[in-house]
Amino acid sequence: MTQNLLYYAAHNSQIDSAVVYHNEGACARAMASSGLPRSSIFFTSKIYSNALSYSIAASQIDATLKTTGLDWIDLMLIHAPFGGPAGRKGAWTALVEAQEAGKVRSIGVSNYGVHHLNELEAHIKELESEGGGLGRGGVISVGQWELQPWLAHPDIVSWCKERGIVVQAYSPLTRGKRLYDPLLKPIVARTGKTAAQVLMRWSLQMGFVPLPKSVTPKRIEENADIYDFELTQEEMKLLDTGKYERSAWDPTVTPLSQ
């Protein structure tokens, strides 16, 4: 499933939305007016609540389908690990059931720390035991985190790569906060690319699926123009900062009890 998802994501238009972004309907209208076949657009949304539960997740999945008018959601993620062990297990159970019902094609999580991921792995095994067999507990196909040279989450990335989970990087451009960082200047000078393109290229060479955000057509085109150069091993090592400096929120540190 993960390999198929990677191929699909690499060869189709991707739309990253979420319940909390309040953009699902607008994205669906844009999809409908684009003239592109539904099969060529990979639509992602996310379940969000400060207190996750089975009922909240199930209702949000149905609400997304109603709001968008789509027949299916390509990827549905749990947006953040809020709600305690029982709440997270309930939300994951709702995702698994939605996938089995054909409402959702792939499922995953966002902003989970390694402790949340280990817990989810245990929940999957419990669901397999409760539901009668291997695979009945669901498969984590995708994980999404803020990933950039100053917040590379190596522990989370390693956990996912060991299990063949696709890693998506949101805020790969650090929300513009690091575009003038001294580390990027020599790479920009050598490549003739912009700092944003260097950061996008770093993300690709790290094996991530970057999710840049922009409303400016020129910048959208710039973000896609990253396949005619590569960062050297020395440059990748230079960008291995070892720092933990976020540009957005960071639910990965949320305790299991919350």
Report the catalytic residues: 21, 79
Q: Which phi and psi angles does 27 have, rounded to 5°? A: -65, -40
Does residue 173 come out as left (phi exceeding 0), alpha (psi in the -120 to 50 range) or beta?
alpha
Strand-pair category, 13-16 with 142-146: unpaired
Nearest alpha-carbon partner for 206 in 251, 253, 161: 161
Q: What residue type is assigned to position 163 of the chain?
A: R
What number of other Cβ atoms are within 10 A of residue 254's Cβ?
17
Question: Which residues, 6+ apart, have CB-to-CB distance to 158 below 8 Å?
Answer: none
Question: Which strand ranges, in their side-by-side order, compose the sheet holding 104-110?
Answer: 13-16, 41-47, 73-78, 104-110, 142-146, 166-170, 209-211
Measure the CA–CA gap between 251 and 82, rounded to whole angstroms: 8
